Structure 1
Amino acid sequence: MKKIVLLVFISFSIASFGQGFLHRNGQEIVDGNGKNIVLRGLGLGGWMVQEGYMLQTGSFAGPQHVIKQKITDLIGAKNTEDFYDAYKVNGITQRDIDSLAAWGFNSVRLPMHYNLYTLPLEQEVVSGQNTWLEEGFEMTDELLKWCAANKIYLILDLHAAPGGQGKDANISDYDPAKPSLWESTANQDKMVALWEKLAERYKDNPWIGAYDIINEPNWNFTGTNQNGCDENSNAPLRALQVRVTNAIRAIDKNHLIFIEGNCWGNNYDGMFPLWDENMALSFHKYWNQNDVASIQKMLDYRTQYNVPIWLGESGENSNVWFKEAISLMESNNIGWAFWPMKKIENLAGVTSVKKTPEYEQLLQYWNNKSAKPSVDFGKKALMQIAENFKIENLTIRYDVIDAMFRQIQTTETKKYKHHSLPGKVFASEYDLGQNGYAYLDKDIANYDGTKFTKWNKGGMMRNDGVDIESCNDTMTNGFQVGFIDDGEWLQYTVEVKTKTSFDIAVRYASQASGGKLYLEDGNGRISETITIPSSGGYDKWKTVTLKNVILKQGINKVKVRFEKGNFNFNFLEFKKSNK
């Protein structure tokens, strides 16, 4: 019977909330006017809490404290402080938030490291007292100002709690040499005090969307799985979140509270009944199927306990997976926050930070594969990486943005780049759109976290299933399409001023003969099938030509159909036929 206690909660009126505050209304998250709000968000991962995989240090330094020590050992404490100052200033700016709003996001999730707001226990001068640091609060204030200016919500997420909340150390900067959050009452007291401080500071601001009390706890209290995936009671996790909620509510009765289960947020066994009328359940979703069965347990919780649910973190997959996951969420009235915004050489995200050769040299040194660089070299390399985190220096992944927003609404394709013929059309510049509409590829997403299937085997340029690699041809945009399987295809939108007959050069590289392709438009075939001979290797480039292909005046959507694959494809060059 305990699991239905929440059903008897007394409904509260919208008028009890400040104008504009997000809050629970039954199973919905609504604004101050009672309008259902679907949160479409992005997590600002790596800004306040570094994780090794985002900086490509994961093989030797995963948690932030280890990363920082590696840097300090190389360039010294003062230079390290200079790097982190620049990194934080450049990591998130007003232009970043302006861009997110322009792209379609209506919320951001801020992963907070407690040590930007208060000292770690071991650094406190007086035991039991908290020293408050202005840096974290000022960073949050500024971010909130930018969010409010763009009318998007800011969700505060305690990503790294005092002591660390999970055995997956990279996520929460957990140091096993020190008492964890769960092994130290003092760390728990500090966490509660931090939420009190945040609640006091932001209680009257409606652009704070919610308080996400604790990110991805993963700890075994009584079970055998170290990440808490077989916990049945989760009593310490529930007790701490109840305590934090009560502390917040003594100060702030306006804001929505998100809670998370164990096992990276998803194990809610023992977490019910719920204890506050203005809360929602957060869950995280990675590397699985995008069907109703994948979220059925959360849907059941929503119905059984009459509470909203929110996908608080997801991502790190292909555009196909993104489109499917977001469609699944929105068709079930579930808001979402994807992850992260910035990462070095990031394919599966809205932006990518460029890795420099100098930074690669540092990585090689830290991996014990090269000699130790000088202090001066190391600092310059790191300061350049910090500079590369500015949005004006990022690569914007417009294909990812298109998948997350436009492709949710339509199967229509859109040109990736304007192609006016005659001229070259590079293979990697195929249309934006869904698999089966803009392109067809067989390996399109990672649906199994135990296998980690590569959807783009080349790992470059775009986050679709199409396999894109770097290209060594003398004429190139830097990329080629490779790993071509039989039956796959790519579509290109091209423009022709008048009806024209073209000879089309196909630039390819192949180890063996046997590849075959032809062209078609919406009405069917427009070319013969041409056989791809061996060029002498996958990096040896040759050309074959399709003759007398007629394209109509105006916009043409041309598909390159690969009857047989096993070759690399660089470009098509359209030249007027000599007839």
Structure 2
Amino acid sequence: MFISLPNSSDTKMTKTNTFLKVDGENIVRDGKPIVLKGAALGGWMNMENFITGYPGHEHQVRRELLKVLGKEKYDFFFDKFLEYFFTEADAAFFASLGLNCIRLPVNYRHFEDDMAPGVFKEEGFKHLDRVIDLCAKYGIYTVIDLHAAPGAQNIDWHSDGGTNQALFWVHKDFQDRTVAIWEHLARHYCDNTWVAGYNPLNEPTDEEHTRLPAFYARVEKAIRAIDPHHILFLDGNTFGMDFRAFTEPLPNCVYAVHDYSNYGFPNPPEEFTGTKEQIEFHERAFERKIEFMKKIGGPVWNGEFGPVYQQASDGIPDWEDMNDRRYAVLECQLGIYAKSHTSWSIWLYKDIGFQGMTYVNPDSAYIKLIQPFLTKKRPMADWLRAAAPSIDNRYPKMWRSERHLTRIVRNCLLADELCCEYAAYFADKSEAELEELARSFALENCVKRERLNAILQEDGRRGEI
């Protein structure tokens, strides 16, 4: 028998003395299996460019905003941004959908600085504690996810490395610092039963494949010495999709996949119409990703998935029909997860209109301020494959030449230059104006993506399985 999710009428459930744990193929609470269903609070304590509209990497745009605003206004603005991004209203809304778990991506820079490694900043816990406590008040579990580790554990922008290299894997010092950060977090949350567990690395990309399992064994041992109770949620290699080098499972650990569908993004292989062949394609893709979990007889957590959506402002005539097809992809995936009792966390809860369950109103102060920046177009060249055909064999191979070019030229070189331009929009703003910009992210100033939320609510309120 499976425990489903708390009914929306059961909000403000503030007490639990039981840690979640792994028991065979299930996550259990009080000995009964529970399926965790929810979303990620991406763009909050780990900001991402497409989520909030800035270019490049978080530390780059923060650097330029600090220059423009000065220390006092800089601290004020980001404190207010973190506050308004998730308040009690968000927790109540989330619980009303029958969802019971929020993944909290965090950036290591909230806890230590590169110029003072190992010196922990207690203020890093201010908003993390606040949101974890708010979620607990409404019966919502949380998973703490180190989305950006020292040195960058993956080659994409969301690890906030500033380059296209995952230096985490080639400098032991970065790994040592990450272990110390997790020891720091474990000391703080070891007694919190509303924390479902820890996600030590988001979407690692270890080109040699063997260093990731070795690091997991090390960090698991370090965390358990301080906190023997909490589950560890361990992402597969190559953005959560590759378990080829994994062998014996670690105790009380859930192995995690990320299951994005190409049918949920622009330029799909073909239009999704829900044919038998298309459904079987998604079933095969998911079965391949969870083969290791089935082999070891363990539970599955899908830490990220979800389509992106178009708006009328995108200028696409059939944008509503396009969105209908993407919602159909989502429903297809949720049906697959239900059959295997897979826990899941959709990407994502809140943004500026690309993918979120909620998004900042186009008429808000923030969107009005940066709208000229958002509408700029910069075409990319397609000469790379002709100049260097071997680019298609570069790790990770599924990126192909176009995506390698985009990541290095647009997300690194071009974006670093554009950070100055973005920051200039904030010049000479008063604290009152900065607070108004931050308040744009408050739920009352956001639009709820009703169709998406209805689909999630229907799945979240499934009865006992």
Q: TM-score range by the shorter chain?
A: 0.7 to 0.9
Q: 1:342-361: CA deviations, max 9, x gaps? A: 11124x32101124322213
Amino acid at match of 1:35: K
Aligned to 2:369: 358
Q: Which amino acid aligns with 1:351?
A: T
Match of 2:43 among 43, 46, 50: 46
Instruction: Determine the structure 2 residue equivalent to 1:35.
Output: 32
Residues 449-528 of structure 1 aligned to structure 2 (within 5 Å): none
Aligned-partner Cα distance in 2 for 1:198–1:384: 32
Cα gap change, 1:370 to 1:52, in 2 (>3 Å): closer
Q: Please say if residues 155 and 209 of structure 1, whose CA atoms lie closer than 8 Å, have aligned partners that are also in contact.
A: yes
Matched, 1:282 2:260: no
Structure 1: how far apart are the matches of 2:242 and 2:191?
32
Instruction: Give the structure, 1 or 2, with the largest relative contact order (CA under 8 Å, sep 6 or more).
Output: 2
**3-state DSSP class of the match of 1:297?**
helix
Q: Distance in 2 between matches of 1:194 and 1:269?
A: 27
CA deviation string 1:48-67 (max 9, x = no partner): 0111111233xxx2210122
CA contact (8 A) 1:351 1:395 kept: yes
Change (3 A) 1:29 1:78: same
The aligned counterpart of 1:343 is: 351
Partner of 2:215: 240
User: How far is the alpha carbon of 1:76 from its aligned partner?
Assistant: 4.4
The aligned amino acid for 1:215 is N
In structure 2, the partner of 1:329 is 337
In structure 2, the residue matched to 1:269 is 244
Shift of 1:370: 11
Q: Provide the rounded CA distance (Å) in 1 between the counterparts of 2:446 and 2:207.
A: 40
Encode CA deviations 1:192-213: one digit per residue, 9 max, x unaligned: 1111121122222211111111
Of the three residues 66, 70, 80, the one matched with 2:74 is 80
- Could you list the per-position Cα deviations for residues 53-111 of structure 1 after superposition, in whole angstroms to 9, with x for gaps in the alignment? 11233xxx221012223434544454333321221111111221121111111000000
1:376 matched to 2:428:
yes
Please state whether the residue corresponding to 1:48 is helix, strand or coil: coil
Name the counterpart of 1:301.
292
Q: Which runs of 5+ in 2 are unaligned?
A: 1-15, 263-277, 309-325, 377-417
Letter in 2 for 1:292: E
Q: Deviations over 1:312-364 (max 9, x none)?
A: 11113332222221121112110100111111124x32101124322213556
Contact 2:102 2:141 in 1 (8 A): yes
Structure 1 residue 404 and structure 2 residue 452: aligned?
A: no
| C-alpha separation in 2, matches of 1:110 and 1:214 | 12
Measured in 2, the distance between the counterparts of 1:161 and 1:84 equals 20
C-alpha contact (below 8 Å) 2:149/2:201 kept by paired residues:
yes
Residue 177 of structure 1: how far off its partner (Å): 9.6
Deviations 1:290-316 (A, max 9, x none): 532121124432221111111011113
Aligned equivalents of 2:140 and 2:460: distance in 1? 20
Aligned CA distance change for structure 1 residues 49 and 321 (closer, same or farther; 3 Å):
same
Question: Which of 201, 204, 207 is the equivalent residue of 1:217?
Answer: 204
Question: CA offset at residue 47 of structure 1?
Answer: 0.4
Q: Distance in 1 between matches of 2:421 and 2:229?
A: 54
Of all paired residues, the percent bearing the same amino acid is 30
1:203 counterpart residue number: 190
Write the distance in 1 (CA, Å) between the matches of 2:211 and 2:449: 41
> Post-superposition shift, 1:381?
6.8
- Once the two structures are superposed, what CA deviation does each residue of 1:455-502 show, in whole Å capped at 9, x if it has no partner? xxxxxxxxxxxxxxxxxxxxxxxxxxxxxxxxxxxxxxxxxxxxxxxx
**In 2, Cα distance between the equivalents of 1:287 and 1:378?**
43
Q: Is the 8 A contact 1:327 1:408 kept in 2?
A: no
2:180 aligned with 1:186, yes or no?
no
Amino acid at match of 2:368: P
Deviation at 1:118, TM superposition (A): 2.0
Shift of 1:162: 1.2
Q: How many residues align?
A: 368
Are the counterparts in 1 of residues 98 and 460 from structure 2 also a CA contact under 8 Å? no
Distance (Å, rounded) in 2 between the aligned partners of 1:382 and 1:37: 42
Distance 2:79 2:421 in 1: 29
Displacement of 1:173 after TM fit?
Answer: 0.4
Q: Shift in Å at residue 219 of structure 1?
A: 3.9
Deviations 1:347-402 (A, max 9, x none): x3210112432221355695999996582259877643311101111111222111
How far apart are the structure 1 equivalents of 2:27 and 2:154? 28
Q: Distance in 2 between matches of 1:54 and 1:202?
A: 28
Change (3 A) 1:367 1:197: closer
Equivalent-residue separation in structure 2 for 1:144 and 1:39 (angstroms): 16
C-alpha deviation, 1:138, in angstroms: 2.5
CA change 1:90–1:371 in 2 (3 A) is closer
Structure with bigger gyration radius: 1
TM-score normalized with structure 2 length: 0.73
CA change 1:378–1:327 in 2 (3 A) is farther
| Corresponding residue for residue 317 of structure 2 | none
Secondary structure (helix, strand or coil) at the match of 2:226 reads coil
Letter in 2 for 1:22: L
Residues 80 and 302 (structure 1 numbering): CA distance in 2 closer, same or farther, change over 3 Å?
same
Structure 2 CA distance, aligned partners of 1:407 and 1:26?
Answer: 24
User: What are the superposed Cα offsets for residues 434-472 of structure 1, whole Å, 9 maximum, x if unpaired?
Assistant: xxxxxxxxxxxxxxxxxxxxxxxxxxxxxxxxxxxxxxx
Which residue does the alignment assign to 1:107? 101
Q: Show CA shifts across 1:135-171 (max 9, x none).
A: 2222222222112211121111111111211111x21
Q: Using the alignment, how far apart are the partners of 1:364 and 1:303 within structure 2?
A: 46
Name the CA shift for 1:78/1:98 in 2 (closer, same or farther; >3 Å): same
2:305 to 290, 300, 314: 314
Does structure 1 retain, via aligned residues, the 8 Å contact 2:154–2:165?
Answer: no
User: What SS does the corresponding residue of 2:305 show, helix, strand or coil?
Assistant: strand
Q: Secondary structure at the match of 2:453?
A: helix
Segments of structure 1 that go 5 or more residues without pairing to the other structure are 1-17, 222-233, 411-579
Work out whether residues 364 and 370 of structure 1, in 8 Å CA contact, stay in contact via their aligned partners in 2.
Answer: no
- Per-residue deviation at 1:405? 2.5
Match of 2:443 in 1: 391
More helix by share: 2
Letter in 1 for 2:173: A
Distance 1:382 1:371, change over 3 A: closer
Counterpart CA distance in 2 for 1:364 and 1:76 is 27
